[in-house]
Amino acid sequence: MAMSFDAILDALPRYRERLAELTEIMLANLVMIAETPAPTFAEQRRMEFVLDRFNEYHLQNCSTDEAGNALGILPGRTGDRNILVVAHMDTVFTGKEDHMVTIQPGYVSGLGIGDDSLGVATVTTLPLILRQLEVELEANLILMGSAKSLGRGDIEGLRFFLNNMDIPISAGICVEGVKLGRLSYASIGMLRGEIKLDLPEEYDWTRFGAGGAIVNMNEVINRVLEIPIPRRPRTTIVFNSIEAGSGFNTFPTKGSLQFEVRSESGEIVRQLGETIQNITAEVSSHTGTHVKLEILARREPGGITFSHPLAAGTRTIMKSLGLNPRITPSTSELSAFIDAGIPAVTIGLTDGEDLNEPTERIEIGPMTTGLQQLLGLLLAVDKGYCDDYN
């Protein structure tokens, strides 16, 4: 007889003590993963570690693909469905920083520890966790450490897999280290770009209004800030980073500005992208500098609805564990599932602070609840309670 949804919820507290014990193994994998640098486009060493663990846990078809993803399959009892659980392997840090991990009472600190080394450690340890809990799914569980996800990677690893797979995926679960209670099931429209400004060698420093790269980039910023932004649909332009100059006694001749346009409307994103493109061309013409806009990534709005069984089921599981779901749109791996027409959600595993900063750290205590949440979601999807039959 199939396990009812209420029975799944009732079973989660009984798994808690054993999950707390298994967290120690996950932490050991977390340290090994986080201390292995994995900047975008250079995830090879981390991918090899994940595959080693997949082989150690006796997954089938442990392999990598042309995109550099780490893949393994835990066969289900019947194998008539496929669930894909994914965490991105890359981080925003280069291989030059100190990636040493520190475990303190209640916390783990290290570069990229929450985004998304913990997610990768969870996906890596999941086969062992299920085996120790004596949980056997009906569906095949495809586990994936995705490559080339962040920034210029533009979710290339997951997109490649979904575009080239020869098996149907029933549902996707994206695992992020932070934050516990996070729930994403839809994506907003987004354009991610970088504006590069260069002063040519023949630049006329004597012309009226002439200035270095910083002054001219400031002109671009001011023009972008003058763009009318609609309140509905909700829209924003975010400046993510700016670089120019090297110090005293030098004239700044190069500059770069990274930004994102986000909106509930894909059409507004396209319009604002065109407006910013026109601004760069106009500033280039007026100042005699070379200004170029490079589009790094695009996202279209989409996803499942609030009432979809996958979204509703995830909320119910969270609430049963005392969590207050915080619903936020996503522009990460979830977008690849949306583009492929596959229902999916993104969840977080614990609490943390200073993400993508040198002082990044995560809490150990909430991880057990995060694992309970993931286990409940896997069981609910496996038993068909998150399927949309409309």
Q: Could you tell me the residue ranges of all domains in the chain?
A: 5-187+301-382, 189-299
- Neighbouring CB atoms inside 10 A of 101's CB total 19
For residue 208, what pLDDT is reported? 47
Distances (CA, A) of 187 to 38, 160, 300, 313, 345: 26, 19, 7, 19, 10
pLDDT tens-place string over residues 311-365: 999 999 999 999 999 999 998 899 999 999 999 999 999 999 999 999 999 999 9
Other C-beta atoms lying within 10 Å of the C-beta of residue 10: 12
User: What is the pLDDT confidence band of residue 205, given thresholds at 50, 70 and 90?
Assistant: low
Tokens 């340890």 sit at which residue?
A: 125
Mean per-residue pLDDT over the chain, rounded: 94
Query: Does this model's pTM top 0.75?
Result: yes
State residue 349's pLDDT score.
Answer: 98
pLDDT at 286 over 90: no
Q: Which fold has domain 5-187+301-382?
A: Aminopeptidase (3.40.630)
Q: Exposure pattern of 225-244 as b/e (b: 16+ CB <10 Å)?
A: eeeeeeeeeebebeeeebeb
Q: Which residues contact 201 (CB under 8 A, 6 or more apart)?
A: none
Sign of the Cα torsion 151, 293, 339, 168 reads negative
For the segment 133-179, what is each residue's pLDDT rounded down to a tens digit? 999 999 999 999 999 999 999 999 999 999 999 899 999 999 999 99
What is the C-alpha separation between 70 and 56, in angstroms, rounded?
A: 14
pLDDT over 80 (residue 211):
no
CATH architecture of 189-299: 2-Layer Sandwich (3.30)
Cα–Cα nearest to 236, from 174, 357, 306, 329: 329
Between the alpha carbon of residue 56 and those of residues 14, 63, 72, 154, 175, the distances in Å are 27, 13, 11, 31, 22
Q: Rounded CA gap, 16 and 347, in Å? A: 18
pLDDT band of 201, cuts 50, 70, 90: confident
- pLDDT score of 207 more than 80: no
Q: What is each CA distance from 181 to 2, 316, 327, 352, in whole angstroms?
A: 28, 12, 8, 12
Contact in structure between 362 and 33 (CB atoms under 8 Å) = no
> In the structure encoding, which two tokens stand for residue 26, read together?
């996950």
Over residues 4-56, the pLDDT tens digits come to: 999 999 999 999 999 999 999 999 999 999 999 999 999 999 999 999 999 99
The pLDDT of residue 209 is above 60: no
CA distances from 335 to 162, 173, 233, 343, 371 (A): 12, 12, 19, 10, 23
Q: Do domains 5-187+301-382 and 189-299 have the same CATH topology?
A: no
Name the nearest CA neighbour of 332 among 101, 57, 90: 90
d(CA 376, CA 265): 33
Is it the case that residue 305 has pLDDT exceeding 70?
Answer: yes
pLDDT tens figures, 367-380: 999 999 999 999 99
